[in-house]
Amino acid sequence: MASESDQSPNPSWFTPKRLLMIFCIINLLNYVDRGAIASNGVNGSLATCTDSGICTGGSGIQGDFNLNNFQDGILSSAFMVGLLIASPIFASLAKSHNPFRLIGVGLSVWTFAIAGCGSSFDFWSIAICRMLVGVGEASFISLAAPFIDDHAPTAQKTAWLATFYMCIPAGTALGYVYGGF
């Protein structure tokens, strides 16, 4: 019978490279969401009527929710309220709590907030959900990069962080393309 010291522990599925890949996919999805909401294809336009009385229905979020330009602009940046409030909170909590779990909590909030955006019925419901999207993003944005920095091989830290941050413009561009459809 083998002793405990002879048995090797089962390696974790979450190797640093796999975590980097997961973090890059999550970062890409975060920015696809931002880009899609900011695109004109998603925002759409209000219903318009000509002087002769011919009216055309609105399109996108602006047409579906009958939003004026101010409200439409608020929706594009509402997530920043949640992001700016929650980022320092998550960063402070990381000192006393497991950052990986805090990322999980934030991504859970993000997932439910995205679902809430999809089922919104008026300006305030979608605005509040967009703010909660920012709360969810705050955990990930403020904690993922230090986590990568701590776990990346020393000689590859810069390349790993560059890969992670490359997902920002790629995700935003994909969001604009997706929003255009």
Domain boundaries, the chain: 75-180
C-alpha to C-alpha distance for 77 and 81, rounded to whole angstroms: 8
pLDDT of residue 23: 93
How large is the average pLDDT for residues 71-88?
Answer: 89
Per-residue confidence band for 52, with pLDDT thresholds at 50, 70 and 90: confident
How large is the average pLDDT for residues 157-166?
Answer: 95
Please report, in angstroms and rounded to a whole number, the separation of the first and last CA atoms in the chain.
Answer: 63
pLDDT of residue 34: 86
Per-residue confidence band for 132, with pLDDT thresholds at 50, 70 and 90: very high
Better-scored residue on pLDDT, 179 or 31? 31
Question: pLDDT (tens digit, 9 = 90+) per residue, 19-29?
Answer: 899 999 999 99
pLDDT at 8 over 60: no
Per-residue confidence band for 3, with pLDDT thresholds at 50, 70 and 90: low
Annotate 19-80 with DSSP letters as a single string. HHHHHHHHHHHHHHHHHHHHSHHHH-B--EE-TTS-EE--BHHHHHTT--HHHHHHHHHTHH
